[in-house]
Amino acid sequence: MLPLAFLLLLLQSSPDAPPAGARPTLQAVPVPDTARLVLDGRLDEPFWETAPAAEAFRQQEPLEGAAPTERTVVRVAFDENHLYIGAVLYDAEPDGILAYQRRRDASLRTDDRFMWILDTYDDGRSAYFFEINPAGLMGDGLLTTGQGGTLNKDWDGIWEARVAHGPYGWSAEIRIPFRTLNFDPARTTWGINFQRTIRRRNEELVWSGHRRNQGLFRPQNAGALVGLQGLSQGLGLEATPYTLAEAATTWQPDGADTDPTLDAGFDLTYSLTPNLRASLTVNTDFAETEVDQRRVNLTRFPLRFPEQRDFFLEGSSVFTFAPASGVDPYFSRRIGLEEGRPIPIVAGGRLAGQVGRFDVGFLQVRTGRSGTVPPEDFTVARAKAHILSESTAGFIYTRRATHGGPPGLRDRHTLGLDLELGTSTFRGDRNVQFQAFFIAHTAAFDTAATSFFDRTTRGIRLAYPNEPFGGHVSYREFGSAYDPAVGFNARNGFRRLQPSLSYVWLLGRHPVLRAYEIGLRHEFLTDLDLVPLTVNTSVTPAEVRFESGARAALRLGHDYERLRQGFDILRDGRFVVPAGGYHTYEAEMDVRTPPQHRLSVGGEAGYGGFWTGTRAAFEFDATLRPVPGLSLSAAWEHTRAHLPEGRFRTHLVRAVAGFDPSPWTSVSANVQYDNLSRIVGAYARLRWVVRPGSDLYLVYTHNWLDDPLGRFRSLTSQAALKATYTHRF
């Protein structure tokens, strides 16, 4: 009855809803055939003066709806092959403009910035995201909406931006090839929105949808870009070959063994329609991919590491499934990785885009043999239908076929269904969201004795993501044998109810404080027979945001855990927690200084019960930016546990350096060490963007073991030189 009642709620009209057509409109002008645009950041070409301007920005932070402290003017033009955006960001104090970052897609929490989105289908459901800063940094991503909406910044489009500075402030010229985007050439109107950050004031200015529960990251609140016509995507064919020279060394007791290789491969992408793209990859290699951040796991459950490989990141937003509900029937790291070790990908194909009212995605990958790991075929299919104005219904299917695996191993199939209903006009301008999902998979072996119910999971979630009051409630069930072959699952055999509530006081023109928030979160998790296994209550009596950008939070919690069997904390037999029930209490404090300062620091400290004893946990990180383009960071995570069996300590240390002389060249390096694995890992990468879409990488990794004698002994190293080149037809 809950889904039906919520559907009726969505369909009812709201007397306070804004009238259709109330969004702002910006006219795009064609670039004259005789005009010659020099991309230098200065809007001195005559046609810019003839283009209508978007300048009715309003504050989203700190004073919702207030007039901006600085003027912003944005214009849009186009020719057959490109979209052009010209922006002048006036600033009465140009010496106060902040621009530390230069590396592509670096976080701009430290800098002034200009962001915009392009909803090329004008349906308010997804968009391309772009951002720049006064140093010319370019960032981009794919934006999806709904409950658990995401910004996937791992997508790298091919486009260019240039900036200029003067006594007026700073300005930018942006050129985006239409071949970078999916769109319908017959459509003359796109959704568009702009946002500007004045970092020294932590002021956020938005052109359309300035309310705090609206904004740039909600395409349904975007304005309209009109007048587009005669746009071309060319032939829609893109070829990206690569070459790779690599040398891997492994140290054995009797000496070092070096294996040099020279390899090549390619990617082909073709636009079957303006809205649907197919890609083929052959002999895929990920030598340029950054290493995972190391983590110390003191829990009973596996850790989930993010995907970092470009082939799986491109178009990945299409494959997201009930993202706010924490289920992953498809997890791309199950393909081509075995316990973090790369498995060769022989070939793969991908299809992603829109067909009518459907978002569709298809993935087929073949992996090769590697040691004892046999060749495998992976299939993933996803479709989401757009229903109502802000809702979707969809399915996902995965298949994993192992060739030459253990006797009795079957092809493993998984099918999932998800429904998302949402509205942003509840009681005028409030957001309400409902999500439901169901997933089932086949048994892995012929001899499996599990039932269909054992191999399923299902759940619902209702959310009210607004300010000052917000909250959610979710319920889910995981079968005792649920384990999707191409997915990720940390725990099964449970039923879980989880509500949360929060309230935010916005303090307006207070000279020091910006917002004060309190919150309550509860988790009640039982086994399938309703015996409590995990019961957590977390109270946040104070979470404070300061005008400077600093933050501080205090959290108090009570936890109950019931162990059905002993738990070996360090996986070495020294500290084994016996089966039974455990009540613990804990307190945690988190403090962060303003990120835009040259030196920014943050720390977390917590103390409380830990199974049969106590634990103190500390995290500390610091980042120094002595000059723009150079950053030095260090982080330390430390745990001290006191148990009846004894005491232990864990350390995780990470140091990161980045040098970016320009937005087109970057050097990064990191060193990581933890005292459980006793392994020191070093990683260094040089990236030179020869031109957008064509890159040169030089990568080096090295691992050492800190042996019991206090010596660092080399284990493995790898050096790689990789060049990629993109040509569009």
Distance (Å) of CA 398 to CA 412, 452, 485, 536, 597: 8, 17, 8, 34, 47
Q: Could you tell me the pLDDT band of residue 10, with boundaries at 50, 70 and 90?
A: very low
Contact assessment for residue 158 and residue 692, using Cβ atoms and an 8 Å cutoff:
yes
85 is written with which tokens?
């955006």
725 is written with which tokens?
């080149």
DSSP string, 535-574: EEEEEEEEEEEETTS-EEEEEEEEEEEEESS-EETTSSSS
| Structural domain contains residue 247 | no
Instruction: With a cut of 70, say whether residue 306 has pLDDT above it.
Output: yes
The answer on 480 and 362 residing in a single domain is yes
Last residue of a domain, one of 438, 471, 490: 490
Helix then strand then coil, % of the chain, to nearest 5: 5, 55, 40
Instruction: With a cut of 80, say whether residue 254 has pLDDT above it.
Output: no
Range 689-706 average pLDDT: 93
252 is written with which tokens?
């054995």
In sequence order, the 6+-apart residues with CB closer than 8 A to the CB of 56 are: 24, 207
Lookup result for tokens 């200029």: 164
Burial of 682 per CB tally in 10 Å (0-12, 13-18, 19+): middle
CA atoms within a 13 Å half-sphere pointing along the CA-CB vector of 393: 5
Contact assessment for residue 473 and residue 367, using Cβ atoms and an 8 Å cutoff:
no
| Structural domain contains residue 527 | no
Q: Could you tell me the pLDDT band of residue 17, with boundaries at 50, 70 and 90?
A: very low
665 φψ region: left (φ > 0), alpha (ψ -120 to 50), beta (else): beta
Peptide bond before residue 94 is cis, with ω within 30 degrees of 0 = no
Distance (Å) of CA 674 to CA 125, 576, 638, 650, 653: 43, 21, 10, 7, 6
The pLDDT of residue 62 is 93
In this predicted model, what pLDDT tens digit does every residue of 348-405 receive, in sequence order? Answer: 999 988 888 898 999 999 999 998 899 999 999 999 999 988 899 999 999 999 998 8
Last residue of a domain, one of 172, 200, 226: 226
The model carries a pTM of: 0.88
Contact assessment for residue 478 and residue 491, using Cβ atoms and an 8 Å cutoff:
yes
The answer on 221 and 101 residing in a single domain is yes
| Structural domain contains residue 533 | no
The answer on 367 and 461 residing in a single domain is yes
Distance of CA 440 to the CA centre of its chain: 26
84 is written with which tokens?
């052009």
CA distance 330 to 147: 18
| Structural domain contains residue 74 | yes
487 is written with which tokens?
């997915």
Last residue of a domain, one of 441, 468, 490: 490
The pLDDT of residue 147 is 64
Contact assessment for residue 650 and residue 673, using Cβ atoms and an 8 Å cutoff:
no
Residue length of the chain = 729
The answer on 202 and 330 residing in a single domain is no
The answer on 419 and 307 residing in a single domain is yes
The answer on 309 and 207 residing in a single domain is no
| Structural domain contains residue 495 | no
Q: Is 182 helix (H, G, I), strand (E, B) or coil?
A: coil
Please provide the average confidence, as pLDDT, over all residues in the chain: 91
In this predicted model, what pLDDT tens digit does every residue of 125-181 receive, in sequence order? Answer: 889 999 999 999 999 988 887 665 678 787 788 999 999 999 999 999 999 999 888
Distance (Å) of CA 424 to CA 142, 208, 460, 594: 21, 15, 19, 32
The answer on 35 and 150 residing in a single domain is yes
The CATH number given to whatever domain includes residue 200 is: 2.60.40.1190
In sequence order, the 6+-apart residues with CB closer than 8 A to the CB of 161 are: 132, 136, 138, 172, 173, 174, 175
Domain range for 369: 302-490
The pLDDT of residue 13 is 37
| Structural domain contains residue 154 | yes
The answer on 306 and 189 residing in a single domain is no
